Homo-oligomer: A and B are copies of this chain.
Amino acid sequence: MPSAVEHRTGSDAPPDRHREILDAALELFATIGYRATTMAQIGDRIGIRGPSLYKHVTSKQEMLVEIMAGMMEELLRRQRAALDAGGDVRDRLERITAVHVQYHAEHRYEAFVGHREIDNLEEPERSRILDLRREYESHFRELVQEGRELDVFRTSSDRWSSYAILDMGIGVSAWYNPTGSVAPDELAATYAELAVRMLGAGDA
């Protein structure tokens, strides 16, 4: 289920301009930033002029909202699925870490924009998305805490450890190269292992 529609080859398949525009915008937002991106540039990417975009989207700001809300909701959805799959604390922490990293590799543009452009969202969307993010982060913290109380994890601070895991995953979206030789799920598994080792529950 690829989210990008590539070059129009001829004139078959319905263009789905809305998606096409959002994909172009996403790439530009990720590459040069929301404020630096102009409507004309987005139009260029799909071969139309800037003002023509308004036949398909309502504003630049709304495009950012759509991208960021979609990103955060999808991320939470996957995290919840990982948690609902059950297992012991360590299993669940490995799974949500893997989900976290895999998403940040597979959807590095969405993830990168999702973290970098929050302050360019106008209220009330900004607060709404920050709430989602807090919920997302809290699942890591609660799991680390649970593991520590069960003596599965050893850590001096649930908060710092969970932030460390979160941040090393977020970092992936900044350097991951999809044309490289490492697959997202491979990277995810490696990072999950790093995380549990960090929490003092390595397989030694």
Contacts and interface: CB of A to CB of B under 8 A. Distances in A.
Interface stretch (A1-9, A68-76, A83-91, A166-174): A166-174
A202 to B, nearest CB: 7
Interface residues of A, number: 33
A194 B163 contact: no
User: A-side binding surface: helix, strand, loop or mixed?
Assistant: helix
A116 interface: yes
Contacts of A157: 190
A200 B197 CA distance: 7
A13 interface: no
B194 A161 contact: yes
B202 A197 contact: yes
Interface stretch (A18-26, A28-36, A44-52): A28-36
A171 B167 contact: yes
A164 B165 CA distance: 9
B194 A198 contact: yes
Given A197-B200, A198-B198, A32 B119 contact: yes
Contacts of A193: 156
Contacts of A167: 167-168, 170-172, 174
Contacts of A202: 197, 200, 202
B116 A116 contact: yes
A163 B187 CA distance: 12
Contacts of A120: 33, 36
Contacts of A35: 33, 35-36
Nearest to A189: B156
A191 interface: yes
B160 A164 contact: no
Contact of A194 (B164, B172, B187): B164
B119 A33 contact: yes
Given A35-B35, A168-B168, 5 more contacts: A36-B120, A160-B190, A163-B175, A200-B202, A204-B204
